[in-house]
């Protein structure tokens, strides 16, 4: 139910993001989802890739600070209200969302919401009980 | 082990008798043989016969680096060059270097004090001394080398640089003692980690680190990362090179000054007044025995205090505390005195902060700003913005608590701050440009 995510520290200077994506593509690693959190002073890149171990190794060799963590991927129909229903369920159960990002599947029918929770196990239980579809790591990687 | 029991444990009264005898001889030699010194003393109205007690030392004028530069290269040597067997020079950041000369006996003296210093750090015959101080015009390499040989240890004259090769040699030759700057020791530790070399499986036992100021927290860091005891050594080329004073491994607190050769004073850097024992100020040295290039009341620009209390190791020589900073490294930021070592102390005190940092000072309008760049290690990193913001806030608050001034903290990617192969560059002050 949990999906591996890697996070990379980005200094606030141009070309860093490009250096990461180049290192990954040079090593035939595919990016499935990506988001950048930006502040005035630094950025954090979050990535879901098809080979987490290899990506971690490659980026460390390139001198980046890399952290690993788990996120939860939720699949909803790509139409109005898809996201708000999920958020309502979480809010109801007082589950705190650290951050989230989303992308639309190739077919265009579904959207995938990536959530980072303090307590992922509790969140999984709540979401499943509400009948919300959670994707496995395998499923996300093969999108 | 005490290398020279007779001198290093001399009762204070006997030491003072020896010092005054040597001081009188020094002042005569310098006055009659070196014109610039004679002119300086004449201008101050002091003759050699006025020096009768150790307290009279205070009557003599100070010597500064500018005075050495004005007499570049050999103008302050007391003997003709045919008696000088070696010269060294320190790299000046601006203009001409400072040149120092040694007679055959000076080289002997240097080896003696350096052997004492190494013995303070428990180095002995049988040790394999990995000497990563630079060889050449810089006094570090050769100074440490002669002392280690005098002691009977096995010296690897590796000098600085080519860090991976150094590590291979450490492994293969079984180095037990590392001599380097503390910042280079950290560079070695980091390179070992990159190479997958486990420091605890090396034979390293003691590290003797000097030639730049470093904090207590930095000591802990080096000890932990290299699995050795880190001992502080002090010296500067003008006085003789490394081996002016050295911490004993028993106390690891303060460096014993080899006072039969080098006489210390602590002065107020602004007024030049001699401060009472134990107060913090600028360290000043008079070389009592040096022949070719003696110095009277040389201002080192290093800030420290003396410790008169007897030491557990049995040596009777006074100790000087770890150098807090230099009068010329001291940054005055919005009227507040800041030493890079203070910032270092804060950073090293935070778990996971890498011991590599850079202080950048700018002037915006009439306002000084200080920025501290800190590398984000894996241990510090988080995928959540708020955690990194909390970290930089914490560093900022701790620095403010210590120095009373707010600085900007910039988190940078690992290994972007330049690594030292000798003396680390800690400050970029853009205000003078
Ligand atoms: Zn001692």
Domain ranges of chain A: 2-69, 71-141
How many residue contacts between A and B have a Cβ separation below 8 Å? 54
- Whether residue B191 is contained in a domain is answered as yes
- Whether residue B6 is contained in a domain is answered as no
Tell me: do B272 and B377 sit in the same domain. no
CA torsion B87→B296→B303→B245, rounded to 10°? 60
Residue B432: the pLDDT is 61
Give the nearest chain A residue to B415 (CA atoms): A63
Mean pLDDT of the region B154-164:
94
**B5: Cα within 13 Å, side-chain hemisphere:** 1
Residue B369: the pLDDT is 87
Domain boundaries, position B178: 69-327
Kindly give the distance from the C-alpha atom of residue B119 to the centroid of ligand 1, in angstroms, as a whole number.
11
- Whether residue B273 is contained in a domain is answered as yes
Tell me: do B138 and B153 sit in the same domain. yes
- DSSP-assigned letter for residue B351: T
How many angstroms away from the CA of A51 is the closest CA of chain B? 19
- What are the DSSP E strand ranges found in chain A? 2-11, 31-38, 42-49, 66-77, 97-104, 110-117, 133-135
Domain final residue pick, B278, B296, B327: B327
Q: Evaluate the CA torsion angle B178, B181, B185, B187 in order and state its sign.
A: negative
* CA pair distance B350, B353, nearest whole angstrom: 6
Domain final residue pick, B286, B307, B327: B327
Tell me: do B95 and B223 sit in the same domain. yes
* CA pair distance A105, A107, nearest whole angstrom: 5
Cβ–Cβ of B384/A44 closer than 8 Å? yes
- Whether residue B64 is contained in a domain is answered as no
* CA pair distance A123, A100, nearest whole angstrom: 13
From the list A63, A66, A67, the residue facing B415 with the nearest CB is: A63
Cβ–Cβ of A67/B376 closer than 8 Å? no
Tell me: do B307 and B388 sit in the same domain. no
Decide the pairing of beta strands B357-364 and B281-287.
Answer: unpaired
Tell me: do B131 and B272 sit in the same domain. yes
Residue A43: the pLDDT is 92
Joined tokens for residue B124: 């002995």
The answer to whether the beta carbons of residues B16 and B55 sit under 8 Å apart is no
| Architecture category of domain A71-141 in CATH | 2-Layer Sandwich (3.30)
Residues in chain A with CB shorter than 8 Å from the CB of B415 are: 63
Strand order in the sheet with B262-267: B262-267, B281-287, B298-304, B325-326
- Whether residue B60 is contained in a domain is answered as no
Residue B345: the pLDDT is 86
Give the nearest chain A residue to B382 (CA atoms): A67
What is the domain count for chain B? 2
Best mutation target among B384, B390, B408, B418 (most A Cβ atoms within 10 Å) is B384
CATH number at residue B403: 3.30.300.30
Residues in chain A with CB shorter than 8 Å from the CB of B411 are: 9, 11, 41-42
Tell me: do B166 and B303 sit in the same domain. yes
pLDDT level of residue A13 (50, 70, 90 thresholds): confident
- What are the DSSP E strand ranges found in B57-203? 86-90, 98-102, 128-131, 154-156, 177-180
Q: Across chain A, what does the average pLDDT equal? A: 91
Domains A2-69 and A71-141 share a fold: yes
Between B129 and B422, the more confident residue is: B129
- Whether residue B20 is contained in a domain is answered as no
Tell me: do B284 and B401 sit in the same domain. no
* CA pair distance B316, A56, nearest whole angstrom: 57
Residue B410 contacts A, CB cutoff 8 Å: yes
Residue B433: the pLDDT is 45
Tell me: do B277 and B363 sit in the same domain. no
Cβ–Cβ of B383/A5 closer than 8 Å? yes
Report ipTM for this prediction: 0.84
The answer to whether the beta carbons of residues A72 and A124 sit under 8 Å apart is yes
Cβ–Cβ of A41/B410 closer than 8 Å? yes
- Whether the per-residue pLDDT at B277 is higher than 90: the answer is yes
Residues in chain A with CB shorter than 8 Å from the CB of B417 are: none
From the list B376, B389, B392, the residue facing A9 with the nearest CB is: B376
Kindly give the distance from the C-alpha atom of residue B129 to the centroid of ligand 1, in angstroms, as a whole number.
22
User: What percent of chain B has a predicted confidence (pLDDT) above 90?
Assistant: 75
Domain final residue pick, B327, B344, B360: B327
Does the domain at A2-69 match CATH 3.30.2130.10? Answer given as yes
Tell me: do B257 and B368 sit in the same domain. no
Summarize pLDDT for A92-109 with one digit per residue, the tens: 999 999 999 998 887 778
The answer to whether the beta carbons of residues B206 and B232 sit under 8 Å apart is no
From the list B384, B410, B414, the residue facing A65 with the nearest CB is: B414
Give the nearest chain A residue to B392 (CA atoms): A41
- Whether residue B225 is contained in a domain is answered as yes
Tell me: do B243 and B377 sit in the same domain. no
This prediction's pTM: 0.78
- Whether residue B28 is contained in a domain is answered as no
Residues in chain A with CB shorter than 8 Å from the CB of B384 are: 44, 98-99, 116
Give the nearest chain B residue to A61 (CA atoms): B194
CATH number at residue B181: 3.40.50.12780
pLDDT level of residue B397 (50, 70, 90 thresholds): very high
Tell me: do B238 and B90 sit in the same domain. yes
Tell me: do B366 and B319 sit in the same domain. no
- Residues contacting B380, CB < 8 A, separation 6+: B352, B353, B388, B391
Relative orientation angle of helices B12-33 and B35-44, to the nearest 10 degrees:
110
């Amino acid at each position: 139910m949990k999906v591996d995510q890697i996070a990379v520290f980005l200094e606030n200077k141009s070309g860093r993001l490009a250096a990461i994506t180049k290192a990954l593509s040079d090593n035939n690693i595919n990016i499935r989802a990506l988001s950048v959190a930006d502040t005035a002073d630094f950025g954090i890149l979050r990535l879901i890739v098809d080979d987490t171990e290899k990506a971690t190794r490659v980026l460390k060799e390139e001198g980046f600070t890399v952290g690993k963590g788990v996120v939860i991927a939720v699949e909803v129909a790509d139409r109005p209200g898809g996201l708000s229903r999920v958020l309502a369920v979480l809010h109801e159960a007082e589950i705190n969302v650290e951050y989230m990002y989303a992308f639309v599947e190739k077919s265009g029918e579904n959207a995938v919401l990536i959530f980072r929770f303090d307590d992922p196990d509790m969140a999984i239980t709540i979401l499943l009980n509400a009948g919300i579809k959670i994707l496995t790591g395998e499923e996300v990687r093969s999108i | 082990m005490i290398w020279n029991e007779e001198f290093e444990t001399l009762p204070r009264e006997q030491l003072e008798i020896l010092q005054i005898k040597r001081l009188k001889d020094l002042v005569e030699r310098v006055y009659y043989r070196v014109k610039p010194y004679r002119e300086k003393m004449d201008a101050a109205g002091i003759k050699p016969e006025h020096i009768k007690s150790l307290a009279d030392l205070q009557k003599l004028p100070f010597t500064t680096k500018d005075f050495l530069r004005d007499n570049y290269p050999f103008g302050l040597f007391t003997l003709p060059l045919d008696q000088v067997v070696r010269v060294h020079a320190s790299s000046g950041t601006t203009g001409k270097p400072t040149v120092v000369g040694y007679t055959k006996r000076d080289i002997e003296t240097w080896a003696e004090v350096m052997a004492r210093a190494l013995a303070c750090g428990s180095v002995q015959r049988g040790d394999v001394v990995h000497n990563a101080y630079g060889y050449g015009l810089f006094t570090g390499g050769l100074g440490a080398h002669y002392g280690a040989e005098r002691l009977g240890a096995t010296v690897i004259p590796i000098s600085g640089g080519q860090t991976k090769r150094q590590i291979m040699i450490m492994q293969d030759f079984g180095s037990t003692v590392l001599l380097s700057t503390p910042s280079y020791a950290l560079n070695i530790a980091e390179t070992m980690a990159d190479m997958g070399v486990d420091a605890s499986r090396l034979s390293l036992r003691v590290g003797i680190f000097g030639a730049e100021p470093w904090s207590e927290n930095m000591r802990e860091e080096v000890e932990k990362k290299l699995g050795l005891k880190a001992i502080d050594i002090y010296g500067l080329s003008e006085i003789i090179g490394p081996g002016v004073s050295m911490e004993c491994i028993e106390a690891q607190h303060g460096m014993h000054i080899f006072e039969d050769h080098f006489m210390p004073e602590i002065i107020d850097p602004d007024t030049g007044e001699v401060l009472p024992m134990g107060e913090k100020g600028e360290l000043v040295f008079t070389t009592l025995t040096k022949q070719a290039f003696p110095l009277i009341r040389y201002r080192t620009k290093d800030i420290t205090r003396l410790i008169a209390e007897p030491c557990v190791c049995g040596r009777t020589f006074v100790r000087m505390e770890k150098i807090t900073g230099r009068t010329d490294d001291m940054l005055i930021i919005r009227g507040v005195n800041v030493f890079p070592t203070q910032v270092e102390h804060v950073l090293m005190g935070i778990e996971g902060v890498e011991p590599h940092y850079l202080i950048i000072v700018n002037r915006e309008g009439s306002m000084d700003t200080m920025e501290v760049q800190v590398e984000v290690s894996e241990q510090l990193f988080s995928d959540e913005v708020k955690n990194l913001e909390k970290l930089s806030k914490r560093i900022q608050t701790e620095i403010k608590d210590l120095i009373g001034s707010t600085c900007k903290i910039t988190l940078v990617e690992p290994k972007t701050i330049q690594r030292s192969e000798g003396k680390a560059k800690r400050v970029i002050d853009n205000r003078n440009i």
